[in-house]
Amino acid sequence: RICVFTQCLRGTYYISPSFRGEDPDATHLNQFYHVECELLGDMDNAIQIAEAYVFHLTNAMLKNHSDIILNTAGTLTHITDMLSKLHGNQPLPRVPLDQAIPMMPSADCLEWVQQGQPHFGRKLTRKGERVLIEKYGGAVWLTEMDHLGVPFYQAYVEGSGQSKAKASDLLLGLGETVGLGERHSTPELVQEALRHHAVPEESYKWYINMRQVRPLLTSGWGMGTERYLCWLLQHDDIRDIQIIPRMKSKKYMP
């Protein structure tokens, strides 16, 4: 909302916790921290900013904490490889979902959202994401997901009807580490997407109102802090990365 109502502001960032009802596992936390960014421009612009952020953050981590990373991960190669790829604003590879699916070695690498109902959109499992990560040398953007498999507020890919979303996930380490997408720019597009996803419009009147007050092309992304640290430290269980454990259905002393 700051990006919409503040004149001449190119974008806004914040770091915040998220609280979800999901069961935690090796790649999921029900409470986690993430860096969020909302900025003017399309998905390509957002990807460029996200990659620059990953580059500068990783470069700072290497400069200031290389001993800790080396002692924990046993190597710095994954970091130097990433910095080499992003040096000089060289973009990371991108692969649309429709092209990624045939790359899977078996059907076991696919997950159909909503308990096996394909009309809710296709989605790669963590196993499938790791196939892409390995194939593309450590990092890749998965793009153009099925629209019903992403939140309603992601824009539609031109020419796809309502089937594809202008959304991208940066896969590295455990899998999806940055989630990114272009937003609907007008209230009419927001309302159309709400109907498409069968989401009650009443719950998002404030969001529709923003676009009515000022139609605007914006994009945004969020990076999971603990997932990034898992990649940085080459660790395979995100539950070990929490500073203060907050597992679902478990009590912890203050």
Which DSSP letter does residue 214 get? -
Which residues contact residue 214 at a Cβ distance below 8 angstroms, ignoring those fewer than 6 apart? 4, 5
The domains found in the chain, sorted by start residue, are 2-240 (3.30.930.10)
What are the tens digits of pLDDT across the range 160-178? 889 999 999 999 999 999 9
What are the tens digits of pLDDT across the range 70-84? 999 999 999 999 999
Q: Is the dihedral of CA 73, 78, 83, 89 positive or negative?
A: negative
Give pLDDT, residue 254.
60
Mean pLDDT of all residues in 52-69: 96
The answer to whether 140 and 96 are in contact (CB under 8 A) is no
Instruction: Give 7's pLDDT tier (boundaries 50, 70, 90).
Output: low
Instruction: Give 153's pLDDT tier (boundaries 50, 70, 90).
Output: very high
Instruction: Give 20's pLDDT tier (boundaries 50, 70, 90).
Output: confident
Mean pLDDT of all residues in 24-37: 89
Give pLDDT, residue 127.
86
Please state which of the ranges 90-99, 102-111, 159-168 shows the lowest mean pLDDT. Answer: 102-111
Residue 230 scores a pLDDT above 90:
yes
Which DSSP letter does residue 22 get? S
Give pLDDT, residue 2.
45
Phi-psi region of 232 (alpha: psi -120 to 50; beta: other; left: phi over 0): alpha
Give pLDDT, residue 112.
42
Give pLDDT, residue 88.
78
Give pLDDT, residue 113.
39
Q: Where are the alpha helices (DSSP H) in the chain?
A: 2-5, 43-73, 77-86, 97-100, 113-116, 126-135, 187-196, 205-213, 225-233
What's this model's pTM, rounded to 2 decimal places? 0.89
Give pLDDT, residue 215.
85
Work out the mean pLDDT of the chain and round it to a whole number. 88
Comparing 228 with 128, the larger pLDDT belongs to 228
Residue 114 scores a pLDDT above 50:
no
Instruction: Give 117's pLDDT tier (boundaries 50, 70, 90).
Output: low
Comparing 23 with 121, the larger pLDDT belongs to 23
